A and B are shown apart, each in its own frame.
Chain A
Amino acid sequence: MKNIRNKACAAALVLTSAFAGTGLTQQSGSDSIERELDTYRSMMKSDPWSNPAMLDVDRGEALWKTPAGPNNVSLEQCDLGLGPGKVDGAFAMLPRYFTDADRVMDVEARLLWCMENLQGFDRVKLLTRPHPSAGMPVKDLGAIATYLAYRSNGRSFSATFSHPKEKAALALGETLFFHRTGPMDFACSTCHGESGKRIRLQSLPFLSKPQEARKILGEWPAYRVSTAHVMTMQHRIYDCFWQMRLPEVELGSDVSIALISYLVKQADGGEIKIPGMKR
C-alpha cells in the first residue's frame, strides 16, 4: 500500500515538473481550447436529429394536445397572445401583457396560467419542484414550453414591450441585471457583463450586448449534456439565482419575467433555433 502511494507521489511530481516547463503554452492555449470547443459544439449541432431535446418536443406536442387535469381539456384553447390555440410564431412575441391575467408573462408563466385556469391543475403542485434534477427528464410544463418555442423556429425575437406593464417589466429586468446583491455580492452582470468570460469550459455570453444576446437567447430551451435533460429559460434563471446564493426564484414570478423581458429585448431580432445544445 505504502509502495503504491510512493509511486503515485512520484508520478505526481513528474507531472508537476512537466507542466512547469509548459507555462507559456498553457497561456497561449486558450485560443486552441476555444477552437476545440467550437468543433465539439458544431459536431453536436451539425445534425439537429441528434439532439435528445427533440424527444421532449414530441412529448410536449402530445401533452399540449391531450386532454388532462381535473377539467379534462387539452391546452389547445390556451391563448399565447395570438388567439386561442395559435401556436406558430407565438413564442417569438413573448413576453407580453395578457389582459385576462393582468400581468406580463413569458411562455412558461403563460403555460402555468393555462394549466391552472383551463385544465384546473393545482398551482401549488405545479410549482413544487418545477425543474428536473440531473438525469431526470424535464417536467411536463418544460416539455410543452420546448414544443411551443420550437414552433417559432426560424423566426426572430420580436416582443414589442409597448404596454405600460411590459415597459415596467423591462425596466425592472434591467435594474435587476446590474443590481449586486446577496451574500456573494453578485449581479447577473458580474458573469454576463463582459465578452470572452468563461466558467470552466462554458463560455459566458455578454448578455447586455445585443450581438451576443441574439446569438444565445434563441438556443433556449436547450439540451444540457451534463445533466441529460432539457433546461428551460426559467430553469436557467432559477439556477443562476442558486449559483449567486440568492433566495429561490419561483417559476413565473415577476422577477423571473422581468429578467427574461430584459434578455429578450437585448436579443431583439435574433433568430430562434430551438432546441439548443449545451455542455
Chain B
Amino acid sequence: MRSAAALPAPHLAPRRGNSGPIVRIAALQKTFGDIEAIRHLSFEVADGEFLGVLGPSGCGKSTLLMMIAGLIGPSAGEIRIKDARVTGPRREVGVVFQSPVLLPWRTVLQNVLFPIELLKLPRSQYRRRAMDLLRMAKIDDFAAVLPRQLSGGMRQRVAICRALVHDPSILLMDEPFSALDAITRDEMAVELQRIWQVNRKTVIFVTHSIREAAFLSDRVVVMGRRPATVIDELAIDLPRPRAIAVTEDETFNRLVRHLRKAIEASHAQ
C-alpha cells in the first residue's frame, strides 16, 4: 500500500471512538408544496462511521442528502454537523452525485482540483494530494486525459477523488454506482471500502440496493415510502475488509433478508 502511505498523515490516524455523533438529524420535515417528502426523520451518524441509507426509489433519500449538503433547507426540524446547524453548503462536506458530473473541458486532474479552485485554496499545495488520491483510486495514469475518454466507472472514481480532495470530514454519496453495470458496481463497492479504510471519513451512502448497503455499511438506516421516515436500523457486524465473496455467506444473507423484510413491511402498510 505505497499509495496509501503517500497520503497526508492525519487521514491515517485512528478514529476516536467516543467523540460523539458528527451528524445529528432531528425531527426533520420537508414538504414540496402539498407533497410531504420527509416526515419526522431523526438519526445520528458517528464520527468515522459508514452509514447506509436504504430506501425505495423516490422515497426522499436524495432530498435528505441534499439537505445534509446544505443545498436545500428543511421545512421543519434541523440538521447539525459538528454541533453547528446546517444553513448552507459547508467546507467539511464532500458530495458524490448519481452521475459523475465532471466538467468535459477539464482533464481528470483539473476536475479533481476544481473544488480547490472554488474554495480558493492553494492549488500547488493540493496538487500532490490530488495525485495521491488518483493513485489510490488507480486512475493516476489518466490524470491528463479528458473525461470523455474514460469509462463510466472511471469517471465515478474521478468524482470520488474530487469529493475528497479538500479533505472533508463527511462524504455524502447519492446512489453513486446506480448508473454502472453490475460487475463494475461490485468492483466499485470494494474500491470504495478500500478508499474509506484509508481515509476514515464519515460516509453517508444513499442507495436503493439492499446488497450494496449491507456490503458497505457499518450500520444501515432503512427509510420507508414517501413521506420518508426511519422504519428500521441494522448494525452490520461483518469484519473488514470485506471481499465480494462475503455476499454469498449465510450471515450476510440473513442481514439482507432482514432489510428486505423491513422494506416489504413498510410497503404493506
Are these two chains actual partners, yes or no? no
The interface of chain A, by Cβ under 8 A from chain B, is none
